[in-house]
Amino acid sequence: MKRIAIYTLLTLLAFPAAAVPAIHNVDGRTTVSLDGTWNAIVDPYENGYYNYRMQPMPTPSTFFADRHFYENPTRLIEYDFDAAGTLEVPGDWNTQREKLYYYEGTVWYRRLFDAAPQPGRRYFIHFDGANYETIAGLNGRIVGKHVGGFTAFDFEVTEQLKEGRNSLVVKVDNKRHADGVPTVNTDWWNYGGITRSVQLVDVPETFIRDYAIRLTPGRDAVEGWVQLDGSRASQEVRVEIPGLKMSAAVRTGGDGRADFRIVIPRRSGIRFWCPEDPVLYEFVLTSETDRVSDRVGLRTVETQGSKILLNGKEIFLRGISIHDERPGEPAGRTFSDAHARTTLGWAKELGCNFVRLAHYPHNERMVRMADETGMLVWSEIPVYWTIDWSSADTYANTSWAA
């Protein structure tokens, strides 16, 4: 009698930890892409995670289904990643397999990759997005869980990552729930899967996790904040705008955070971002242990009665509403610069100077491409319609989505 053992897929994740706050501007870090062909197993009954009473199955953390980590080579299995079919990541499963077009449930993904972790470094698996609930394990060890289909998230894997071959297993479940964000009834297609890119991120032990930069309402200064993550929380951080020869130095506190402000000289020659002149300035943040750069368009947006002001001047918005779907065939979620450039290019051909990204956070590449091409963005979070707000977790997820 063959043993039914799909439960061995990822039962170690019965009690997963939450994802850590996402690292800002992952493309500006040292990364290894995990995009490409992943093995995939469809599990509509979720036998790989729940018992027959639909309770997560507790097992030792070393127990893992991937044959690359079997301690007992005679273990019988019903489902095998090596013999399973494949799905492309990034990508939704609906448009990759005809039989999964209407499928809502669990699919297990497995990706093998090589790594060479170095002492004094930290490593994260970064997901640009996966719909809707994601639970992941690396090399037979729990790494975490994330709920939400349209926001980026990270799992730290510094302790789990090993020299040589590594196995990343991900459970993705796109079932809709009454208290989910969005809820059961929506007006967009419920694409399932690892819909956006996945990367292994390599950072110093104490690194610049997050930051914000903006032009002050009076357009006379650039201000923001920086957040360090690691044991050396208190450091000097230098903020530079090379193109304007402007800089400032601040020291983070014990929580790793510091605010900064750079006054703009009257004769700086600064150009404020607008659709006709979408100039982006390079910003460089350098701490004692890390360095990251980004490109930012400096602008102010405000209202005055029924008027919308861009950089203090009234602007008439001409725009359209778009979903995060690929232009042309095949259909599916967008995930590349090329997709974003094509969609925004079509909007510009129509005479638009802004787009409404409905009804959820779109891929970050879309927002960055809008900055480059001179398009204002109205971004949204998926909080509307008939959501059941009786759950405190729903409120927490709403805050996380924002």
Segments making up each domain of the chain, as ranges = 6-204, 217-288, 303-379
Q: Which helix (H) or strand (E) holds 260?
A: strand 257-263
How much is the pLDDT for 180?
Answer: 86
The CATH number that domain 6-204 falls under is: 2.60.120.260
Cα 335 from Cα 354, distance rounded (Å): 20
Cα 203 from Cα 199, distance rounded (Å): 13
Cα 371 from Cα 274, distance rounded (Å): 9
| Contact criterion met (CB below 8 Å) for 192 and 94 | yes
The band of 77, judged by pLDDT with boundaries at 50, 70 and 90, is: low
Nearest to residue 195, comparing CAs of 389, 11, 390, 364? 364
How much is the pLDDT for 66?
Answer: 60
Residue 8: pLDDT above 60?
A: no
Nearest to residue 130, comparing CAs of 77, 92, 178? 92
Cα 62 from Cα 69, distance rounded (Å): 9
The band of 242, judged by pLDDT with boundaries at 50, 70 and 90, is: very high
| Contact criterion met (CB below 8 Å) for 46 and 93 | no
Q: Whole-model pTM? A: 0.91
Nearest to residue 10, comparing CAs of 58, 53, 68, 55? 58
The CATH number that domain 303-379 falls under is: 3.40.50
pLDDT tens track for 18-42: 667 889 999 999 999 999 999 999 9
| Contact criterion met (CB below 8 Å) for 108 and 171 | yes
Token pair belonging to 364: 């970050």
For residue 128, how many other CB atoms are within 10 A of its CB? 23
What is the distance in angstroms between the CA of the first residue and the CA of the last residue of the chain? 51
DSSP per residue over 49-105, as a string? TB-TTS-B----TT---SGGG-S-TT---S--GGGSEEEEESS-STTT-GGGTT--S
pLDDT tens track for 97-128: 999 999 999 999 999 999 999 999 999 999 99
Give the CA distances from residue 202 to residues 28, 33, 301, in Å, rounded to whole numbers and listed in that order.
Answer: 11, 11, 36
pLDDT tens track for 46-75: 877 877 888 877 653 333 456 555 556 665
